[in-house]
Amino acid sequence: MTMSEEQTLSRAERNRLQLRADIVEAAFIEFSERGYHQTAIADIARRLGIGHGTFYRYFENKRDILEHVITDTMRKLTELLAGENAPTAVTNLEDYREQCRRISARFREFARGNPGALRLMLLEATSIDPEMTQRILNLVTMSGLMTASYLANGVQRGFFRADLDTEMTGHAIIGMIMAGVMRFLSQPDDAAALERYGEAIVSLLVAGMAAGTV
């Protein structure tokens, strides 16, 4: 929301939008701590000190708010890929290596701070209904295509192999990242192993895709 938009909103409307955001944040915390299936509307309302009726003025049900929680989580992850971490931000192989390390470090930090959110998206959301399962699968596909845009930049600038299949390699990289997330969820306290896993992916990518490799 822009400053001009904020200025045109009434105080009541600003309060309404803030409460809606607070409900999403409270649901995010409850889902993360309890799990989606174990969380009731009462748990979310109790955390905010509001009544059930107030909740239902903003969201139809628990499934409805999950959509917003997932959208908000994806927004937070996408924000990690801005500026110096954007797909076209680097011009050579060494800069790409450092970019990968920065992104890896930020994703590891997010994972350590939000293990429940990752568990919710990858393990619980796909057990709710076919529509939600398809949404998660679409997000995985979109992540692969976004990763492919980083590789396309490398091919265009000449520091990746000209014959690199950027689309399929992008999906393969997301597969490696998801495997790392699953490993992290099984051993969330092993920060050293998570860092080693991230560095292994970076080394594999640079060695396998650099111009001049076969």
Say how far apart CA 105 and CA 209 lie, in whole Å. 21
The C-alpha torsion from 203 through 212 and 156 to 175, rounded to 10°, is: -30
Q: What share of the chain is helix, strand, coil (3-state, %, to 5)?
A: 80, 0, 20
Domains of the chain, residue spans: 9-62, 80-209
Handedness of CA 74, 79, 80, 86 (dihedral sign): positive
Say how far apart CA 34 and CA 62 lie, in whole Å. 14
Amino acid at 15: N
Name residues whose C-beta falls within 8 Å of residue 106's C-beta, 6 or more positions apart in sequence: 80, 85
Position 7 scores a pLDDT of: 54
Which own/partner pairs from 122-129 qualify as long-range (CB within 8 Å, at least 24 positions apart)?
122/178, 122/181, 122/182, 122/185, 123/185, 124/31, 124/35, 124/36, 124/37, 125/36, 125/66, 125/70, 127/37, 128/36, 128/63, 128/66, 129/63
Tokens of 177: 């990242």
Position 87 scores a pLDDT of: 95
Beta partners for residue 160, in sequence order: 210
Q: pLDDT means per 10 residues in the chain (214 residues)? A: 56 83 87 86 91 87 86 87 94 96 94 86 88 93 96 96 96 95 91 93 93 73
Q: Is 9-62 assigned to CATH 1.10.10.60? A: yes
Tokens of 150: 């980083």
Position 37 scores a pLDDT of: 87
Yes or no: say if 120 and 139 are a contact pair by the CB < 8 Å rule. Answer: no
State the DSSP code for 82: S
Architecture of domain 80-209: Orthogonal Bundle (1.10)
Beta partners for residue 210, in sequence order: 160
